[in-house]
Amino acid sequence: MAKSKITRQANSVKRVRNSQNVVPLNLTIPYNNVSLSKPKQFDVSHLLYLGCNKENEKIDSRTVFIRRFCEKANQYVSNGNSARTVTTNYENLRSYLAFCDAVDVAPFTESGYLKFAGNDGELRHRIKMFSPSNRLWEYNHGDELGMKESSASSILTSLRHALDWCGLPVSDWALHHRGFTLEKTPYKGYSEEEEKLLVTRLDALFFTLAPQLIAAKENDTPLPEALPLIINLGEHEEVVQIPTSLDTTRGVSSKNGTRVNAGAAFNITMGAAYHLMCFFTSLNDSNIRSIAHPIKVHTEDRDKSLQVVKVSSHKPRANKEVDALLVGEQFDVDKRGGVKFIRLLERLSKLYGNSEDGSELIFTLNNNADVNHTFNLNEINKTLVNQLHLLSPYRAGNLPWFKELFYAYRNQQIITLKKVVNHLGRTVVRKEVKTTNKTMAGQGATNSAYCILSCYTDLPLKGILLPLTYSERDSDGNVTVSFSYRNGIGGFFKIPASDLALIKDIEQYAKENAGKQPKIYERLLLTRSSRYVPKDWEGTSPISPTLMRTWSVEPNHYYISLQSSRWREMTSNQAYAEGGIQGAQSLLQNAKETLERSYLNEHPLLNKVILSQSIEVIENLDDETSLEQAKDIVVKRRGIPMLSHDEWKKKRTAGNAKTNPNGLTCDGQQAISDGKNTQRETNYAVGLSLPCAEFDMCYKCQSAKAVDDVEAVYKLISYIDVLKETLDMYPDVKSDIHEKIEQFEYTLDGASDDVFGGAMERFNTQGRHPRVSFDHALLSL
């Protein structure tokens, strides 16, 4: 029987799916790394696949966890938090998933988590493999590098957040294993030798180039192709030509197509200004970058020679303003050029940038001569260390590696050394030896030979003629290598006798190259050659700024690393030695916990020895044994002259005594019992709280103390001498001068005979101290 029309219509009704009930699989997160100016939406659907690779099998059971992760990540950023945190959590989650897939364990389970973070898990293995003293070139191919425990702690913290966003009870799982310490290695500040080298050459660059750049702008005259800069290399000087052109084809271009030439005169001058600002102010990186116009110079009403600049900046993490002082000539002996520096920098910044309030003080210019708001310090630092020849005092530690490279290039081979991540997420060494062409081998042999020789001497190596001459082995086991420059001036350096064969091999390599060139040319030890025509390299060094990275030589192992954190740590040590933790905390404007964690840990091995001896002293304390008796027991038992802490304290006290221009030291607080306190009046006039700068009042002040040190006594003797010279010139104040002389001579009587004798010997042979002049006496009258 035929079906009715109604029946047929009913059977043909189609099911309509409500699209509003379907949730699209949109697995994206806000992603932001160092190369991006703002976050972008990033697809993370590859996390659903085995090994996080879409070419492998898809694991559908992961979808619910990854979807929750994406929801939480987007919500996190929409609440005003940083997309960089989301990016870090994603990267650690991806690495964790790849590891779990490689060892065949379910990642979103407690067993998978403990396989990675447990007491015998992957992170513990990486910590055990870490060896902080080893350099990368000391490893063999395939060796694991491991990681610091603090790095493992950071990774695990980020991974827990990621797994928590996935909806897993990771806090309960974490109770089943030991925690990791987040204690970080303290920053290593600059030594006195490094500080002197850095400040001298950065100062020379800034105060040489900045006035020329200012003059060209103010007079509306074009700059020459290059500006000369003299680098002092001991008894020799090297003239470096700094190019002025902002044009460049190197580097990554911005969205508008502009690029920044990090080696241009203006940009390298601003790089020097950045580090000098670190030196003068002790502010950290973000604070230095955020210093803006206007800059105000305060002049004290009563003493017109005392000038102070107060630089303010914002510290976002602490949500507070931080300040730093730059002071004038008479006030601060060690950093006396602060006001001069900031005034010159302000003029340079206004002429080439924007002088409006709030505009940045330190910036770079792009190839259109416009302000580039991204200050690429890494690229500028490469140029600074190379052009200023800022060699690390510890560069000789690389000699075995440079030697290996030299002989490899001599055999027409090239060694590539890299860090790579294997399928388990472990960082391993990839070291390969490959054949290269003659041109690359020749350039590499010259570069490595230069680095070898530079590890033995600070003298310039350009223009040295063949042959070299060698002395006999001396009593210390060293051989003196002598040479002559093309201008006839001679030089020499010493090497261990064990390295004599290496230096002779370098000389032999140079003789082979010289033998291929026409006889009309000079026979040079190191040269750049083109078709066997020798020529000198530009600047002080033939080394390119990126070569050390190519050779996997880490920062500060050949060139000194330039970092704001190292400036701060150096200043922290100096301030802590003088004023204790309160002085360092005031200078760096850190919380006490931050200061102790990041800057005041000093030498870890010495701390361990001090701690061990301290515990031993405590064990010997009882009702009948005093602290000093307990110390004597430990000293005798260990057979040492004194406890390490007492020795360290003695050295720090003796080695860090800072004196004023009179050769006296004080705590910065004026204490005059029968006179007017002029320090208080000065601080009130300036509106700042400054240490005392009234050096003409030292003879009355109870805070001023003599230091039993040759340098300090030499300075005080010189000051007394200039006071005596003024006696007959100023009869009106003769009694006052006599009073000062008598008081200072009384103070001088406190010096020991040996120290006084040494100071008098320097005075008789060298004359007055270089920091004491006749003008010094006039200012004190």
Q: How far is CA 718 from the centre of its chain?
A: 38
Among 544, 559, 580, the domain boundary falls at 544
User: What is the reported pLDDT for 555?
Assistant: 83
* Domain match, 380 and 494 both: no
In this structure, is residue 730 part of a structural domain? yes
* Domain match, 344 and 471 both: no
* Domain match, 55 and 153 both: yes
Confidence check: pLDDT of 226 > 60: yes
Give the tens place of pLDDT for each residue, 419-443.
898 888 889 999 999 999 988 998 9
What phi and psi values does residue 232 have, to the nearest 5 degrees?
-85, 115
In this structure, is residue 611 part of a structural domain? yes
Confidence check: pLDDT of 598 > 90: no
In this structure, is residue 740 part of a structural domain? yes
User: What is the reported pLDDT for 309?
Assistant: 54
Give the tens place of pLDDT for each residue, 688-697.
666 676 676 7
Question: Region 544-555: what's the mean pLDDT?
Answer: 86
Confidence check: pLDDT of 94 > 90: yes
The identity of residue 197, as a single letter, is L
Report the range of poorest mean pLDDT among 112-116, 222-226, 714-718: 714-718
CA distance 762 to 756: 10
Confidence check: pLDDT of 564 > 60: yes
Query: How many residues are present in the chain?
Result: 781
Question: Region 544-567: what's the mean pLDDT?
Answer: 86
Give the tens place of pLDDT for each residue, 453-490.
999 998 889 889 999 999 998 888 899 999 998 888 88
* Domain match, 644 and 662 both: no
Question: Region 3-17: what's the mean pLDDT?
Answer: 40
Per the CB < 8 A criterion, the answer to whether 201 and 388 are in contact is yes
CA distance 682 to 684: 5
For the stretch 399-418, what's the b/e string if a residue is b when 16 or more beta carbons lie within 10 angstroms of its beta carbon? bebbbebbebbbeeebbebe
Tokens of 324: 């730093």
* Domain match, 635 and 682 both: no
Give the tens place of pLDDT for each residue, 55-87.
999 999 999 999 999 999 999 989 888 888 999
Confidence check: pLDDT of 683 > 50: yes
User: What is the reported pLDDT for 68?
Assistant: 93
Per the CB < 8 A criterion, the answer to whether 285 and 250 are in contact is no
In this structure, is residue 683 part of a structural domain? yes
More confident call, 541 vs 638: 541
Report the range of poorest mean pLDDT among 144-153, 491-500, 537-546, 645-654: 645-654
* Residue 420, strand partner residues: 428
What phi and psi values does residue 775 have, to the nearest 5 degrees?
-60, -35
* Domain match, 351 and 255 both: yes
Confidence check: pLDDT of 251 > 70: no
Q: How confident is the model at residue 776 (pLDDT cuts 50, 70, 90)?
A: low
More confident call, 626 vs 315: 626
* Domain match, 31 and 152 both: yes
Per the CB < 8 A criterion, the answer to whether 173 and 110 are in contact is yes
**DSSP track, 712-769:** HHHHHHHHHHHHHHTTTT-GGGHHHHHHHHHHHHHHHTTS-HHHHHHHHHHHHHH-S-
CA dihedral 457, 460, 466, 467 (to 10 degrees): -20
Tokens of 21: 């009930």
Confidence check: pLDDT of 152 > 50: yes
In this structure, is residue 15 part of a structural domain? no
CA distance 409 to 450: 13
Please name which of 460, 455, 457, 431 lies closest in space to residue 558, comparing C-alpha atoms. Answer: 455
* Domain match, 640 and 661 both: no
3-class SS of residue 267: helix
Report the range of poorest mean pLDDT among 216-230, 536-550, 668-682: 668-682
* Domain match, 735 and 711 both: yes
Q: What is the CA radius of gyration of the chain?
A: 33
Question: Cα dihedral sign for 359, 365, 368, 373?
Answer: negative
Confidence check: pLDDT of 95 > 90: yes
User: What is the reported pLDDT for 336?
Assistant: 45
User: What is the reported pLDDT for 637?
Assistant: 64
User: What is the reported pLDDT for 12?
Assistant: 40
Query: For the chain, what is the mean pLDDT?
Result: 77
Confidence check: pLDDT of 579 > 60: no
User: What is the reported pLDDT for 458?
Assistant: 87
What phi and psi values does residue 53 have, to the nearest 5 degrees?
-125, 120
User: What is the reported pLDDT for 193?
Assistant: 85
Please name which of 286, 307, 157 lies closest in space to residue 686, comparing C-alpha atoms. Answer: 307
More confident call, 90 vs 690: 90
Confidence check: pLDDT of 239 > 70: yes
Instruction: Write out the E strands in 436-562.
Output: 464-470, 478-485, 490-496, 528-530, 533-535
In this structure, is residue 8 part of a structural domain? no
More confident call, 89 vs 618: 89
More confident call, 18 vs 487: 487
CA distance 669 to 679: 8
Domain hosting 606: range is 602-648
* Domain match, 484 and 626 both: no
Number of domains in the chain: 5
Report the range of poorest mean pLDDT among 26-30, 432-436, 459-463, 743-747: 743-747
pTM higher than 0.85? no
Confidence check: pLDDT of 503 > 80: yes
CA distance 41 to 74: 10
Per the CB < 8 A criterion, the answer to whether 39 and 90 are in contact is no
User: What is the reported pLDDT for 183?
Assistant: 65
In this structure, is residue 670 part of a structural domain? yes
Tokens of 639: 């057979």
Most confident of 256-265, 459-468, 573-582: 459-468
* Domain match, 167 and 236 both: no
Q: Where on the phi/psi map is residue 533: left (φ > 0), alpha (ψ -120 to 50), or beta?
A: beta
* Domain match, 365 and 451 both: no
3-class SS of residue 513: helix
Question: Cα dihedral sign for 746, 751, 754, 759?
Answer: negative
Question: Which residue in the block uniquely carries the two structure tokens 């002779």?
Answer: 504
| All residues at 6 or more sequence positions from 252 whose CB lies less than 8 Å from its CB, including other chains | 35, 259
What phi and psi values does residue 679 have, to the nearest 5 degrees?
-65, -40
Tokens of 172: 């309960």
User: What is the reported pLDDT for 333?
Assistant: 29
Q: Which helix (H) or strand (E) element contains residue 126?
A: helix 122-129
In this structure, is residue 590 part of a structural domain? no
pLDDT above 90 as % of the chain? 22
Give the tens place of pLDDT for each residue, 31-62.
887 666 577 888 999 999 999 998 999 999 99
Confidence check: pLDDT of 777 > 70: no
Tokens of 767: 């004359």
CA distance 66 to 640: 62
| All residues at 6 or more sequence positions from 109 whose CB lies less than 8 Å from its CB, including other chains | none
Question: Region 749-775: what's the mean pLDDT?
Answer: 76
Question: Which residue in the block uniquely carries the two structure tokens 């040489």?
Answer: 208
The identity of residue 309, as a single letter, is V
* The Cα angle at residue 164 between residues 36 and 38, in degrees rounded to 5: 10
Confidence check: pLDDT of 14 > 70: no
CA distance 742 to 723: 11
CA distance 379 to 250: 11
Within 13 Å, how many C-alpha atoms sit on residue 251's CB side?
19
Say how many Å lie between the first and final Cα of the chain, rounded: 133
3-class SS of residue 309: strand
CA distance 712 to 705: 11
Please name which of 346, 438, 453 lies closest in space to residue 399, comparing C-alpha atoms. Answer: 453
Confidence check: pLDDT of 291 > 70: yes
Instruction: Write out the E strands in 522-646.
Output: 528-530, 533-535
Confidence check: pLDDT of 246 > 60: yes
Report the range of poorest mean pLDDT among 318-327, 435-444, 667-676: 318-327
